[in-house]
Amino acid sequence: MKPLFRTEPTRAPLAPLWLLLFVAALLLWPALWNGYPLFFYDSGDYIDASFTHTPKVWRTLPYGLFLGATHFNFSLWLPIIVQALLVAWLLFEFIATFAPRQPRLLTALVAPVVAIGTGLPWFTSQLMPDLFTAPMVMGLLLLAYGQLGKLRLAALAVVTVIAISAHASHAGTALALALLIAVAAIWSPRQRPRVGLPLVIVIAGILATPVSHRIFTGEFYLSRSAPIMALARLIRDGEAQIYLRQACPEAGYSLCPYVDQLVAGPNGANDFLWDQRSPFYRVEGWKYWQSFGAEARTIVWQTLSARPVENLEWAVRDWGEQLITFGTGAGLVPKLWEATEVQRQYFPAESERYLTARQYAGQLDLSGLNRLHVAVLGAAMVLGVVLALRDLRTADRVAQMLWLLIAATLVNAAITAIFSNPDDRYQARLVWLFVPAVVVAFTPRRPVGDL
């Protein structure tokens, strides 16, 4: 008896140029409407690193290298155009792999939905590595399930390595996803995904960050600020203050004189790290990041050891908060002074466009659009879970994709919430992928006779 579905589909069709340009244009509408690429607080640091090849203590280098390789010292429009084209290509390959019937038509129909109904174009139009979170997941899924020629497979591998290395938070999610792909191979041997290739690419993507640091700075490291970021989250939760009040002044920490000025609450982590009136700046934490990082590591460990149950409860609570926090436009504020100075320094010919853009003038009101995005993404995520449960027994490639996307979403939320703090952009940068995932899950599976 012939199986209903063939486990090895024919090679996916090529994406036509007109379709890639159409999708890319849709994904750039916020930048076109704004009048210039969008800037986040961190954008200036990455632009600066694209020229100096020396990241700030609180950043990593790979996305700066990506910007340097795409702006050609000419225009900041070029990186976001490349970003849009990469996402357009990956979206087509994703649909062609998991819904191979008429992938061109389906891509043309899905693209306007994600362009209007999700925050994707706001990440594509932004000079930030957050854009690469979903492409990292898409790349690994395509490496596992896609039927691509050698050239496309090589291009996909390169893009996935870039995506993994773009942000420090990607390493854990990528590794977890690669391991879960191996579990999927055991779960469904009839439609077994590739296991070795995604794992090799994940290792390469993780190593790309410290290797790039070694080449350009002489130091081999993944992140220099991780202990400080973790401490900020414990301050946000109030657990660090409980420990410090018990340990100070005998422990001799530089923060001891400022314990009562450490503020818990939703903005506690960001205020500690970035408000120049915070105790962190009073002890010049970024300037003396090596000594303060060692102190932060000790405080984090002692805080977790002193109240493990309470800290676990906070971690779960932060994780849950991050899972349902995925609004659009976080951090797209006007007149970012540091980004403004960097833009003027390196791209003076574009300064007038930057200064007359809607963002700089404070004219980006995304409140109505944000409500639409939250509704669309919330519905897509719920539908994704429902469809994954529906297809649990079949365990075909689409069901596996849904479960792996759900797992990546859970892991991304855990890593960003626990090692940093809950923030809309951390989840919004990934969950837009549920929209095309749900669409392909509703598409009839391709029977053997149509292959």
Query: Domain range spanning residue 52?
Result: 17-222+334-450
Phi, psi of 326 (to 5 degrees): -150, 45
Give the single-character DSSP code of 38: B
State the pLDDT at residue 190: 73
Place of tokens 């818990």: 264
pTM: 0.92
Report yes or no: 99 and 402 within 8 Å, Cβ to Cβ.
no
Q: Are residues 21 and 145 in the same domain?
A: yes
Q: Are residues 177 and 44 in the same domain?
A: yes
Say yes or no to pLDDT of 312 above 90: yes
**Percentage of the chain exceeding pLDDT 70:** 96
Cα–Cα distances (Å) from 128 to 18, 364, 366, in that order, read 26, 18, 19
State the pLDDT at residue 338: 86
State the pLDDT at residue 448: 35
Say yes or no to pLDDT of 65 above 80: yes
**Does residue 355 form part of some domain?**
yes
Give the single-character DSSP code of 350: G
Q: How many CA atoms lie within 13 A of 260 on its CB side?
A: 2
Q: What are the residues whose beta carbons fall under 8 Å from the beta carbon of 388, sequence distance 6 or more?
A: 399, 402, 403, 406
State the pLDDT at residue 9: 47
Q: Are residues 245 and 347 in the same domain?
A: no
Phi, psi of 126 (to 5 degrees): -110, 140
Q: Are residues 353 and 410 in the same domain?
A: yes
State the pLDDT at residue 188: 74
Q: Are residues 150 and 58 in the same domain?
A: yes
Query: How far is Cα 347 from Cα 355, in angstroms, rounded to an integer?
Result: 12
Last residue of a domain, one of 306, 325, 344: 306
Phi, psi of 38 (to 5 degrees): -80, 145
Total number of domains in the chain: 2
Query: How far is Cα 215 from Cα 177, in angstroms, rounded to an integer?
Result: 28
DSSP helix/strand/coil, 370: helix
State the pLDDT at residue 11: 67
Please write the tens of the pLDDT for every residue from 239-289: 999 999 999 999 999 999 999 999 999 889 999 999 989 999 999 989 888
Report yes or no: 159 and 165 within 8 Å, Cβ to Cβ.
no
**Does residue 4 form part of some domain?**
no
**Does residue 190 form part of some domain?**
yes
Q: Are residues 193 and 232 in the same domain?
A: no
Mean pLDDT for the stretch of residues 393-408: 91
Query: How far is Cα 85 from Cα 17, in angstroms, rounded to an integer?
Result: 10
Confidence band (pLDDT; 50, 70, 90) for 4? Answer: very low
**Does residue 325 form part of some domain?**
no
Q: Are residues 288 and 144 in the same domain?
A: no
Say yes or no to pLDDT of 167 above 80: yes
Last residue of a domain, one of 306, 322, 351: 306
State the pLDDT at residue 450: 34
Q: Are residues 190 and 276 in the same domain?
A: no
Last residue of a domain, one of 290, 306, 322: 306
Q: What are the residues whose beta carbons fall under 8 Å from the beta carbon of 146, sequence distance 6 or more?
A: 12, 93, 97, 153, 156
Say yes or no to pLDDT of 31 above 80: yes
Say yes or no to pLDDT of 95 above 60: yes
Confidence band (pLDDT; 50, 70, 90) for 434? Answer: very high
Give the single-character DSSP code of 324: T
Mean pLDDT for the stretch of residues 350-368: 93
Can you read off the two tokens belonging to residue 51? 């020229």
Report yes or no: 344 and 401 within 8 Å, Cβ to Cβ.
no
Q: Are residues 173 and 297 in the same domain?
A: no
Q: Are residues 212 and 340 in the same domain?
A: yes
DSSP helix/strand/coil, 9: coil
Quick one: which of 309, 306, 321, 285 has its CA closest to 241? 306
Mean pLDDT for the stretch of residues 196-217: 97
Say yes or no to pLDDT of 451 above 70: no
- Angle 404-434-315 (CA atoms, 0-180°, nearest 5)? 65
Q: Are residues 363 and 241 in the same domain?
A: no
**Does residue 189 form part of some domain?**
yes
Confidence band (pLDDT; 50, 70, 90) for 441? Answer: very high
Query: How far is Cα 148 from Cα 442, in angstroms, rounded to an integer?
Result: 23
**Does residue 365 form part of some domain?**
yes
Q: Are residues 238 and 216 in the same domain?
A: no
**Does residue 318 form part of some domain?**
no
Query: How far is Cα 65 from Cα 211, in angstroms, rounded to an integer?
Result: 13
